[in-house]
Structure 1
Amino acid sequence: MSSYISLLRTPGVGRIIAAQLTARFPGGMLSLAYLLHIERVHESYGAAGLVLAATSIGQAIAGPLTSRWMGVWGMRRVLVLTLIVCATSIFSIALIPMSVPVYMLVGFLGGLSTPPIQPAVRTIYPKMVNSRQLTPLFSLDASAQEIIWVAGPVITTFVATQVSTQSAIILAGAFLIGGGIWFIASPEVGRVRIPRSKRSFGTVLKRPPVLLATITGFLLVGACAAVEAGVVAVFGHGGPEAGIVLAVFALGSLVGGLSLGHLPIGPWALARRMLVVFVGMALAMAWLDFWWLSIALLVAGIGIAPALAVIFAIVSSSVKFSDTAEAYGWVGTGQLIGAAIGSAIAGFLIDANGAIGGFWAAAAFALLGFVVPTLLRRWHPDLRGREVGPIPDTAPVPVQPS
């Protein structure tokens, strides 16, 4: 824990983590809030699913695109523009009754304009701490983001059921605006200038570590999405059991990230962490009981934040600084696609085989998530004894005074 205490004592680290988590908090709220609101308006879960799909497609396209724009126009300009458009989309869905196709269009625009805060902050981190502190910082970040997925759905459900579905969406928009302004106003965002990349769009995916991180992230998040569908199918919506089990799952990730985040990253690091995830999800298939699922998913969760930390570290250490934001954008897009496909496959298997089908899908995704970095371990950089940080560009990186 001393490494994390030292990190939080570094000027600006605690503030930038808190600001970006606040701005990204709607990520744990909007899907459920849109689902509840549009189902209420149109009395159709199918209609709500179409809007969520359109929003997710927009987010997937936006990931690498808006991230790359930050090297062209600057972080603050891109973040301010996307924040305005995204907030307008969110409040429009909350306040204006629309037909399903129009909801889909507005949701797509909102997804397309999602502020690239995650790529921005992970591009900033290497400029805030030394190379020795970077891996623990990525682990702390991955662990802290579990707060979004634990508290977000709980707050959304409470506000939507006790006040209104509109209020739940508006609250998510308020988090986006408040956290976004806080993050954009942070001095670190003004100090770091991403150089314009000299490579064509998408070239960064030719870097084996970036491709490995994108594929493994896709499989990891797909497994998590399938588990969530399976847990909800087991316990339904009538009681707190599903929420408690998923909270334990996230708690395992938090504990794993804080306890394992300081370990050196060798060529087997990602495979070992994904093996922990697979073992936990495979155990979950044995018995669909509340206590057994809680224990099994606690085990699975222990590998999640450490795996994400390794993904972020190998990307950061394998590309030039001018390409880091786009690289993280592709990783994020892979994770979004994984979430959509994992949920869809789990849904089909649940319809055909009952709740156990969701856990079959989760275990299959997690097994592939272990096999891929095992077979492609030559793509995995050995960061033991190496500096963890982006490759310097040939030209000096401008640093603007705050």
Structure 2
Amino acid sequence: MAGYRDLLRTPGVARMIAAQLVARFPNGMTSLGILLHVEQQTGSYGAAGLVLAAASVGQAAAGPVTSRWMGAWGMRRVLTLTLTVCVAAVLCLALLPLTLPGYMAFALLAGLSTPPVQAAVRTIYPKLVNSSQLTPLFSLDASLQEIIWIIAPVVITVVSTQVGTTQGLLLVAAIMVGGGIWFISAPELGRVRIPRSRRAFGRVVLKPPVMLATILGFLLIGACSAVEVGVVATFGHGGLEAGLVLAVFSIGSLAGGLTFGHIPIGPWAMARRMLIVTVGLGLTMVSLNIFWIGGTLLLAGIGVAPALAVLFAITTASVKFSETAEAFGWAGTGQLIGAAAGSAVAGILIDLGGPTGAYAAAALFAGAGFLVAVACVKAFPDLRHRDPSPLPDTEAVPVTPA
């Protein structure tokens, strides 16, 4: 923990971590808020599912595009534009008397305009710290984001069920505005300028480490999404058990990231961390007892944040600085598609054989990730004895004063 304290004392690091966590906090609220609101307005979970699908499609399609725009137009311009449109779309979802096509249209717009905060902050990180601090910083970031997934769903559920679904979406919009303004106004966004990429759009994802990060992110988040569906199917919507078990899963991830974040990343790092996730998820199928599920998910969670940290690090270390934002955009798209696939497969297996099917799906996703990491071990950069910062661009990167 002393190493993390030193890291947080580095100028700008604590501010950027806090600002991006608040700016991204609505990510843990929006889907559930839309689900509850549309279901209440239409009386149909099927309609709510279609609206959520529209939002997910928009977010997945836009990620690489808006991330690349930051190199052409500047981070603050792109973040301000997307934030404004996204907030307006959420307000329309909350306040307008819409039919199903209207809800789907505004949800698609909200997804398309989701501010690329994650790509922006992970592009900035290498400019805030020295090379020896970058891997621990990625691990700390991956760990602390679990706070979003522990707290945000509880907040939006309480507000939407106890006050109203309209008020829940208004709260989402308010946090978007507050967190977005804080992040956009951070001095670091004025100091760091992403140079315009000279490569064609989409070429960066063909680099083996970026492709690996995208595929493994798809499988890892697919496993986590299947777990969420399985836990809800096991313990139901009405009690506290499902929320508590998922919180334990996130706490395991938080603990794993903080514990193993200082370990240098070698070619086998991803395989080892995916093995922990796979073993933990495989054991969930033994029993549906709440203590057994909680204990096995705690074990599986220990590997999640460290695995995400590997994905962040290999992406950064394998591309030029001008390509980092787009690379993280593609990785984010892979994770979004994985979340949708994991939920869909888990749901089908639950209908066929009960909640155990969801845990089997999660274990299969994680196991596939482990096998990919083993099979492609030679494609992972060895970051144990090299600078994990982005590769330098051939032209000077302009830096403007804050």
TM range (shorter): over 0.9
2:228 paired with 1:228: yes
Residue in 2 that maps onto 1:44: 44
Residue in 2 that maps onto 1:240: 240
Instruction: Show the 5 A alignment for 1:160-309.
Output: 160-309=160-309
Superposed displacement of residue 140, structure 1: 0.5
Residue in 1 that maps onto 2:358: 358
Instruction: Show the 5 A alignment for 1:21-170.
Output: 21-170=21-170
- Deviations along 1:87-123, whole A, 9 cap, x unmatched? 0001110111201011101100110000000000000
SS across alignment from 1:88: helix
Letter paired with 1:359: Y
Pick which of 248-257 and 164-173 moved more: 164-173
CA distance in 2 between counterparts of 1:133 and 1:208 reads: 24
Superposed displacement of residue 236, structure 1: 0.5
Identity of aligned residues (%): 65
Superposed displacement of residue 70, structure 1: 0.3
Could you tell me which runs of 5 or more consecutive residues in structure 1 were left unpaired when the two chains were aligned.
none
CA distance in 2 between counterparts of 1:234 and 1:78 reads: 42
SS across alignment from 1:317: helix
CA distance in 2 between counterparts of 1:370 and 1:174 reads: 40
Letter paired with 2:396: P
Superposed displacement of residue 3, structure 1: 1.4
Residue in 2 that maps onto 1:386: 386
CA distance in 2 between counterparts of 1:253 and 1:304 reads: 5
Superposed displacement of residue 161, structure 1: 1.2
- Deviations along 1:282-341, whole A, 9 cap, x unmatched? 011100110000000000000000000010000000000000000000000000000001
Alignment length, in residue pairs?
402
CA distance in 1 between counterparts of 2:276 and 2:253 reads: 11
Letter paired with 1:215: I
CA distance in 2 between counterparts of 1:231 and 1:173 reads: 28
CA distance in 2 between counterparts of 1:171 and 1:386 reads: 44
Residue in 1 that maps onto 2:345: 345
Letter paired with 2:170: I
CA distance in 1 between counterparts of 2:264 and 2:141 reads: 17
SS across alignment from 1:123: helix
SS across alignment from 1:17: helix
Letter paired with 2:238: G
Superposed displacement of residue 371, structure 1: 0.4
Runs of 4+ in 1 over 3 A off after TM superposition: none
Residue in 2 that maps onto 1:313: 313
Q: TM-score, normalised by structure 2?
A: 0.99
- Deviations along 1:207-255, whole A, 9 cap, x unmatched? 1000011100000000000000000000001210000000000000000
CA distance in 2 between counterparts of 1:138 and 1:166 reads: 36
CA distance in 2 between counterparts of 1:327 and 1:4 reads: 26
Could you tell me which runs of 5 or more consecutive residues in structure 2 were left unpaired when the two chains were aligned.
none
CA distance in 2 between counterparts of 1:61 and 1:4 reads: 35
CA distance in 1 between counterparts of 2:114 and 2:84 reads: 10
SS across alignment from 1:285: helix
Superposed displacement of residue 385, structure 1: 1.2
CA distance in 1 between counterparts of 2:336 and 2:97 reads: 27
CA distance in 2 between counterparts of 1:167 and 1:137 reads: 36
- Deviations along 1:141-165, whole A, 9 cap, x unmatched? 0000001101011001110111001
Letter paired with 2:102: V
CA distance in 1 between counterparts of 2:12 and 2:278 reads: 36
- Deviations along 1:368-389, whole A, 9 cap, x unmatched? 0100011001110000111111
CA distance in 1 between counterparts of 2:280 and 2:13 reads: 32
CA distance in 2 between counterparts of 1:364 and 1:301 reads: 16
CA distance in 2 between counterparts of 1:3 and 1:94 reads: 44
- Deviations along 1:38-70, whole A, 9 cap, x unmatched? 000000000000000000000001110000000
CA distance in 1 between counterparts of 2:10 and 2:223 reads: 35
CA distance in 1 between counterparts of 2:35 and 2:213 reads: 30
CA distance in 2 between counterparts of 1:97 and 1:10 reads: 49
